[in-house]
Structures are given as structure tokens and as C-alpha cells.
Amino acid sequence: MPEIAAPKGTRDILPDEFAVRRWLLDAHRVTAESFGYRAIETPIIEATELFIRGVGTDTDIVEKQMFTFEDRGGRSLTLRPEGTAGSLRAVLGVHLDQEVRPVRAHYAGPFFRAERPQAGRQHQFTQVGIECIGERSPALDAEIVEVAWRFFGALGLTGIQLQVNSLGAPEDRTRYRAALVDYYTPLEATLCDDCRRRLHTNPLRLLDCKRDAGLVEGAPVLWDSLDRAGRDHFTAVMRDLEAAGIDSIRNDRLVRGLDYYGDTVFEFWHDALQGAQSSLGGGGRYDGLARLLGFPATPATGYALGVERILMVARALGTVPGIEPAAEVLVCSVEPDQAEAAAGAARLLRDTAARTVLDVADRRLDRKLRGAGRLGARVAVIIGENEVAAESAVVRDLDDRSQQTVPMGDLAAAVARIIGGRR
Ligand code: HAM
């Protein structure tokens, strides 16, 4: 039979890697919760319309990266490419924002984009993110950046560059788009195919072009199109970031690839990631999204970070912690006759929270003990004929190879003395 591989752009997460991801996910949860964010989970499939209206028709995501299919009733569904539209739908759909404002939510889970797979770019990837919904304040834009910053700190990551910009209000962007079109139109014949299209569909995205980077240098600057309120908002965000001790780099060209942003936008970059994948994550304010989805206008801000990319950086910097072995204790019988007594001993040890593997297979004791080493166990508990008769067990320290026979009633304490000293 031919082997069935995992689909292109997806990966299996096996135990060693799972343990490392859990370290990251726990750090994000603990950090977000220390700021009062609470966990939410939204469906992995959503109505396609949610992303068309939310993310925007002229974005790369909606134009060419969505996994879209029809359900049996002919409704168009999409594997979620991002979590902001779904989170906002979930929160505003039940008026959660009328109980507490702002609603602070965090999430983690799989997302899907049909991009050409390469290192740090997969069809299925994992994001951790937070959304702060219901209030318009520069302090909240700074707060969410601070959550991410502390999270990176908890992982021991250094060298992260925070890139920030302001996209201003919708009228500011209209003015800016016009300025960009004025600048680029005489150059249209020299533009790459993508940019020629963007000039007519989504001029802001012209600034993302790597091929026409030389032209981007000379393009008008968004800041010049911002009115007073937009500038004041951004200045306040920058002041709060500074007060929080967070260094930021102002990047006039940062526009982000999703249409729902206004005012503050930001990304976290790291040199350990290369080229187009330099971004560990990003976010910003999206006060206009609620209306696009058919809800009353509701200000909000948030971010999402790519778990696989963060792990690439953590590995490059060597901050990934050692992995806990599968078991601390291996309990084994000398012969199958002692299986029942060995199982009883294992139960007793699990009651004390020692991670315990039971081996009552019909094979030689020395092979069982070699297996203990592979599991990473520190202690072997051996039960043979004599031990069953005396209601005792042999406790062997696998590091120094010392061993003692203890009554069953003292087993837990004897094991705890060995593993407790090394935990
Ligand atoms: P985004 O910038 O599209 O923002 O994605 C955030 C992060 O997800 C990226 O920086 C990257 O680390 C990771 N990512 C995206 N696509 C892939 C991929 N194909 N393979 C691996 N990692 C990937 C958002 O998704 C917004 N929802 C962020 C946000 C939340 N804005 C406000 N609230």
C-alpha cells in the first residue's frame, strides 16, 4: 500500500516538539492572564463571508490564500486564515462587551493559509493572540504590545525589533491613497505585475513590494496625511511604550496585509528569521471591523503571533528548555506472575504524582531496565517472587545504581526521596 503522507504544508507534532510548544503556549496564557485576558476558542471553519468582509477582498489572504469549500448545503465555508474576525464575531454576537468593557480575550490554535510552503510558512500554522474589544484608547494599544513583549521576555528571547506605524483614520488613508496613486501612476509601466494591480485595487499594499523597493523609498509618507487626532493618538502610544521600557522602531512603510486596520499597527521582527518571513507576529487597532461585519461600531485592538516562527527564533537563540522525560519511575515485574503486584505498586506511585510506566511484559529484567533508561526514568521499582511474598519492592536508583528493599508501605517515600532530590 502506498504511504499516506501528511498533506503538503502541514506537520505532525510529535512528543518532543509538543513539549516545547506547550512551554510556549503556557507562557503566552500565563502572560495574557496576568493582564486580565481570558481564554476563548472560536470555530476553525467560518462562513467565507466573514473573511471577505473582514480581511478585505483585495488582500493576499482573500485573493489567493484561503482554503474554501462548500458544505453539503451549498454554503461557502473557509478554514480560518486568521483569528480577529472570528473573535470579534463571537464577542459582539452575544454582546459580551455590554457586560465588561473592554473585553480582553486570548486564544491559541491552528490557522490555515494556502501560501507556498517554506521554512516559517505553512498551510497549517499556529497562532497565539489577544483581542481587546470595546474601547478606543492609546493606552490599550500600548498594553497589547506590552503583553507580547513580556511574553517574549518569558521565553528568554532577545533581539526582537518592534516596528510601529500609524495608519490614521479612514479619511487620512483616503488622502494618502490619492497621494500614492499620484506618485505611482506616471511610473505604472515600470511596476511589477502585482503592483500594477495594487495601484488600482489597494494602493497601500504598494508599500509592501520587495521588487519595487526602490520606488517605495521615494513614495509619499503616511504621517504627512494624518490629521491632528491621528497624530495625537500615535504620540500617546509611543509615550506609553517608552514608559513601559519598550524600544520601538518607527516604520513609515508598515501597512500590514489585512484591510481592517486603522491608527496603530505594529510587527515584531527578528534577524533569525529571513526575508519575507521576518515577522514573528503583528497586530494593531481595528476600530472599523465591527461595522464591516454588521455590528454596531466598536473599537478594538489586538495581535497574533506565529508559534512556529517564535520557536525558530527560540531554537536559534538556544532558549528552549530541556524536555521532561516520559517517566520518572519504571515499575517492572521479574516474571509475569508478579504483574498484579507490580500494577498495584504503579498505582500507588501515580497517586503521589510520580510519572510511572508499568512494564509487566514477558521479557528479561535487564531488557526492561534498559527500557527504563530510554524513557528517562530515574528510578526502577522491581517486584519479583520474594517481594510479592514479603509485600515489599526493590527500589533502584538508576543514576548511582544503588538499591534497597522497602516494605510496600514505604515505597512512595523511598521513590520520592530519590526523584524529589533531583526534580
Ligand atoms: P498576520 O500578520 O496575518 O496577522 O499573522 C500573524 C502571524 O502569524 C505572522 O506574523 C506569522 O508569524 C504567522 N503566520 C501567518 N501566516 C503564516 C503561515 N502561512 N505560516 C506560518 N506562520 C504564519 C493576523 O493574523 C491578525 N489577525 C493579527 C491581529 C490580531 N490583528 C489584530 N488582532
Could you report the per-residue pLDDT of 22-35, keeping only the tens digit for each?
999 999 999 999 99
Ligand 1 atom with the shortest distance to the CA of 283: 31
| CB 280 near ligand 1, within 6 Å | yes
420 pLDDT more than 90: no
| CB 122 near ligand 1, within 6 Å | yes
**pLDDT tens-digit map of 146-156:** 999 999 999 99
423 pLDDT more than 80: no
| CB 349 near ligand 1, within 6 Å | no
Q: What is the pLDDT of residue 74?
A: 97
In the reported structure, the alpha carbon of residue 102 is separated from the centroid of ligand 1 by a whole-number distance in angstroms of 23
| CB 106 near ligand 1, within 6 Å | no
Q: What is the pLDDT of residue 250?
A: 96
Q: What are phi and psi of 112, to 5 degrees?
A: -140, 125
Ligand 1 atom with the shortest distance to the CA of 282: 2
Determine the average pLDDT of the residues in 279-301: 97
| CB 306 near ligand 1, within 6 Å | yes
**Residue 416: pLDDT band with limits 50, 70, 90:** very high
Which among 279, 293, 312 is the best mutation to test ligand 1's pocket, defined by most ligand atoms within 8 Å of the CB?
279
Q: What is the pLDDT of residue 275?
A: 63
Determine the average pLDDT of the residues in 65-87: 97
276 pLDDT more than 60: no
Determine the average pLDDT of the residues in 351-360: 93
**pLDDT tens-digit map of 153-173:** 999 999 999 999 999 999 999
